[in-house]
């Protein structure tokens, strides 16, 4: 019998039909069974997910559900506190670094065991590094665990010590290890040796086989329905009073693909919290429920992700030969001047947003700079800038033409079905029409947008990148000209512009600097160049609200996703 059969319950159809009638006749009301006497009440919470898990193997996949699964069932050597951004000991209880900042010696916490009782040792850490760098496994983690394209060198002098050596100076240092879940060597080494680690721990794996160092263990997975977790009795953390964590006995993650249904589940008490932030259009309803004491509404402040607009700055594409002004910084500055950011925040986010002028929002307190150059709403200034690059209304029809007489316009691609993006793109098109630019919006399926970005087959894009790391050195691919996430002109063999060359130089120093103040100063210079050159333009960042049932206690919500489940072991229930 396969594992999937173990968790998937067949049902006699005829019996079900008879019972529908019986239950319907009896009113169909939900009746909770009374708890057995003389037993402590089970501390349980129910949350929801919008998508199915794809695998249970952190080394094989990369998606938000897997990230949550890993946070619940596995642990890392060090952890970044997502509220304070401070690095804290986790499986490694302490560490020292060499003077040059290249070598770190980590002391592992003694007495820690996996959920099946197997002791955790430095051999598990060595296995984890071997697994993520294994070419056959092709782990996405392997790429993020490199510095300057080179892997870290790891050794273990004894069972409780690990030495990590960086190939070059790296400012974030051990923060990099926050990504690396330590999976059990004794369960997965055979698969790694056999070249099948990428297929290990798929969805048919019996839950008992999936062991870990996290606060919970998987009890059941019912495809399309839910994941049920129970407390890991061997979990190593205790609270301040010495009580063994986690607080919860059980955590259920219901799979609810529709956000409206997810919201209803929250309102009716069937769900205690969701992974999604409150949509602007749902805020008023939830606020009323919160005021009536039915829900808790948590204000997390300004979010980390501001939707970004950018023009395709690849110089050798055919469109640029006909419309060279598409590459001009004056056009980007004119666009920034032409958009009324306050009205944008009011219209697109229904007021639950603040105007922003750069990719790093005020939500990222560690790296945000309030002193950057700003191009405020100024339509005449926008018109002057456009005239300066030859875009004027030559035939008096209200639309600008270039020197060749062609209409000055472009198409903005955006993601179909994402209401904030669609509203935002429509708002941009309207404001840009006011300065004479003929702008169309083409909402496409997300896969098609990504495909067009990848192929460079577009004029402009309005899209959202989800922030996964706040430290710019961990998002280096966005900033440097050779980076794959340098979306306006990715993977350059040498910088196409002087300002990109300067950003490359500054980011090189920023990544290698070990002093936080120096790193911040260098990154401020990068942000200043970006604010002047505007390769990406941001208009507003939404305020983030989360709703939970009043049963949830000790939640420590953070802006980085998952907002609540990043810290699951202290989560409690009233």
HSE, side-chain direction, 13 A CA sphere, residue 18: 5
Query: Minimum CB separation from other proteins for residue 376, in Å?
Result: 29
Query: Minimum CB separation from other proteins for residue 247, in Å?
Result: 19
Give 86 or 208: the residue with its C-beta nearer to other proteins.
Answer: 208
Query: Minimum CB separation from other proteins for residue 171, in Å?
Result: 21
Write out the DSSP string of 233-270: TT---B-TTSPBSPS-SEEEEEE---HHHHHHHHHTTS
What are the tokens at 350?
């229904």
Q: What is the DSSP letter of 34?
A: P
Give 256 or 563: the residue with its C-beta nearer to other proteins.
Answer: 256
Give 122 or 252: the residue with its C-beta nearer to other proteins.
Answer: 252
User: Given its phi and psi angles, is residue 543 left (phi above 0), alpha (psi -120 to 50 degrees) or beta?
Assistant: beta
Query: Minimum CB separation from other proteins for residue 268, in Å?
Result: 5
The C-alpha angle 294, 299, 305, rounded to 5 degrees, equals: 130
What are the tokens at 434?
């006011």
Query: Minimum CB separation from other proteins for residue 391, in Å?
Result: 28
Query: Minimum CB separation from other proteins for residue 550, in Å?
Result: 17
Query: Minimum CB separation from other proteins for residue 138, in Å?
Result: 6
- Cα 384 to Cα 235, 313, 330, 420: the distances in Å are 65, 22, 9, 30
Give 120 or 458: the residue with its C-beta nearer to other proteins.
Answer: 458
Give 57 or 122: the residue with its C-beta nearer to other proteins.
Answer: 57
Give 124 or 262: the residue with its C-beta nearer to other proteins.
Answer: 262
Q: For strands 146-147 and 92-97, give the pairing.
A: unpaired
CA distance 503 to 381: 27
Give 73 or 567: the residue with its C-beta nearer to other proteins.
Answer: 73
Give 1 or 13: the residue with its C-beta nearer to other proteins.
Answer: 13
Nearest Cα residue to 435 out of 540, 336, 323? 336
Nearest Cα residue to 170 out of 149, 142, 156? 149
Query: Minimum CB separation from other proteins for residue 23, in Å?
Result: 5
The CB-based long-range contact list for 467-472 (8 Å cut-off, 24+ gap) reads 467/304, 467/305, 467/364, 467/560, 468/560, 470/85, 470/304, 470/364, 470/366, 470/367, 470/560, 471/171, 471/172, 471/175, 471/366, 471/367, 472/360, 472/367, 472/507, 472/510, 472/523, 472/526
Give 203 or 300: the residue with its C-beta nearer to other proteins.
Answer: 203
Query: Minimum CB separation from other proteins for residue 426, in Å?
Result: 21
Q: Cis omega before residue 449 (within 30°)?
A: no
């Amino acid at each position: 019998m396969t594992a999937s059969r173990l968790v998937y319950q067949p049902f006699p159809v005829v019996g079900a039909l008879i019972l529908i009638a019986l239950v319907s006749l009896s009113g169909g009301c939900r009746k909770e069974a009374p708890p057995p006497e003389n037993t402590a009440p089970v501390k349980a919470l129910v949350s929801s997910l919008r998508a199915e898990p794809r695998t249970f193997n952190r080394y094989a996949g990369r998606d938000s559900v897997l990230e949550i699964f890993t946070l619940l069932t596995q642990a890392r050597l060090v952890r970044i506190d997502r509220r304070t951004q401070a690095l804290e000991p986790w499986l490694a209880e302490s560490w020292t670094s060499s003077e040059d900042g290249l070598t770190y010696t980590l002391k592992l916490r003694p007495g820690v065991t996996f959920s099946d009782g197997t002791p955790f040792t430095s051999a598990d850490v060595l296995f984890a590094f071997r697994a993520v760098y294994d070419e056959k496994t092709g782990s996405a983690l392997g790429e993020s665990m490199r510095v300057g394209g080179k892997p870290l060198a790891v050794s273990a002098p004894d069972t409780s010590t690990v030495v990590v050596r960086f190939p070059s100076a790296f400012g974030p240092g051990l923060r990099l290890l926050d990504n690396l879940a330590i999976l059990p060597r004794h369960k997965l080494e055979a698969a790694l040796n056999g070249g099948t680690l990428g297929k290990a721990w798929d969805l048919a794996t019996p839950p008992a086989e999936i062991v870990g160092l996290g606060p919970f263990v998987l009890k059941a997975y019912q495809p399309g329905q839910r994941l049920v977790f129970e407390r890991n009795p061997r979990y190593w953390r205790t609270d301040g009073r010495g009580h063994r964590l986690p607080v919860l006995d059980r955590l259920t993650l219901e799979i609810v693909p529709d956000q409206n249904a997810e919201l209803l589940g929250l309102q009716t008490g069937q769900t205690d919290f969701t992974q999604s932030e409150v949509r602007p259009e749902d805020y008023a309803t939830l606020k009323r429920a919160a005021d009536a004491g039915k829900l808790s509404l948590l204000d997390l402040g300004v979010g980390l992700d501001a939707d970004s607009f950018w023009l395709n700055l690849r110089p050798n594409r055919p469109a640029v030969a006909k419309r060279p002004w598409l590459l001009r910084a004056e056009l980007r500055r004119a666009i920034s001047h032409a958009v009324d950011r306050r009205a944008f925040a009011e219209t697109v986010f229904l007021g639950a947003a603040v105007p922003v002028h750069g990719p790093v929002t005020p939500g990222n307190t560690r790296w945000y700079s309030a002193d950057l150059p700003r191009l405020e709403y100024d339509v005449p200034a926008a018109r002057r800038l456009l005239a300066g690059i030859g875009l004027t209304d030559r035939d008096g029809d209200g639309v600008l033409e270039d020197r060749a007489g062609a209409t000055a316009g472009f198409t903005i691609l955006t993601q179909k079905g994402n209401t904030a993006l669609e509203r935002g793109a429509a708002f941009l098109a309207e404001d840009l029409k006011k300065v004479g630019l003929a702008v169309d919006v083409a909402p496409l399926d997300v896969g098609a947008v990504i495909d067009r970005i990848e192929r460079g087959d577009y004029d402009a894009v309005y899209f959202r990148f989800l922030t996964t790391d706040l430290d710019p050195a961990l998002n280096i691919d966005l900033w440097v000209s050779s980076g794959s996430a340098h979306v306006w002109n990715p993977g350059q063999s040498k910088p196409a512009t002087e300002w990109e060359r300067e950003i490359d130089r500054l980011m090189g120093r920023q990544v290698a600097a070990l002093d936080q103040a120096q790193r911040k100063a260098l990154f401020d210079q990068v942000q200043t160049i970006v604010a002047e050159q505007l390769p990406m333009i941001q208009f507003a960042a939404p305020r983030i609200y989360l709703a939970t049932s009043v049963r949830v206690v000790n939640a420590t919500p953070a802006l980085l996703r998952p907002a609540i489940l990043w810290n699951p072991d202290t989560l409690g229930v009233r």
